[in-house]
Amino acid sequence: MKSNRLFALACVIALSLSPAAAQEAPRLLFEVSVDGTVVARPEMRVPLGGEGRLSLDKEPYDLQVRFTPTLSGDDLRLAFTITSRGEEARPTLLISRSIPGALDWTPRAGGQRFRIAISRLQ
């Protein structure tokens, strides 16, 4: 009888922890390159559904990146808003724990070619 109660208690605890673990902020490593040269490698944690921001706003760069991570099965979907020189792009990227992703973008108004590579560390 005691073992059944202990098993039931363990199931309740496991079920209550699952949503908390699923909502944990994923750890992401960004590698930002401008014209082929790596200029930044920030590591960030952003809660699912929250908004992360990354900016390169010192001369000669003009890049603002906002992103929102959400789960898509076991994968992580990142919805981006990228702005540079008054232009805006809204790409979406799907990454997994073992397969990183990257975005390449050159504003039509001219300027540098940006590459943003993202790896999931967690």
CA distance 98 to 115: 20
Q: 65-99 b/e with 16+ CB inside 10 Å = b?
A: bebbbeeeeeebebebebbbeeeeeeeebebeeee
Domain edges within the chain: 26-120
The closest of 57, 55, 70, 86 to 22, measured between CA atoms, is 70
Q: What is the pLDDT of residue 4?
A: 43
Strand-pairing partners, residue 93, are: 78
Q: Write down the pTM of the prediction.
A: 0.75
Mean pLDDT over 59-63 rounds to: 82
Mean pLDDT, to the nearest integer, of 55-67? Answer: 87
Q: How confident is the model at residue 23 (pLDDT cuts 50, 70, 90)?
A: low
- Of 29-38, 40-49, 75-84, 109-118, the least confident: 109-118
Which of the two residues, 33 and 2, has the higher pLDDT score?
33
Residue 122 confidence (pLDDT): 66
Q: Are 31 and 41 in contact (CB under 8 A)?
A: yes
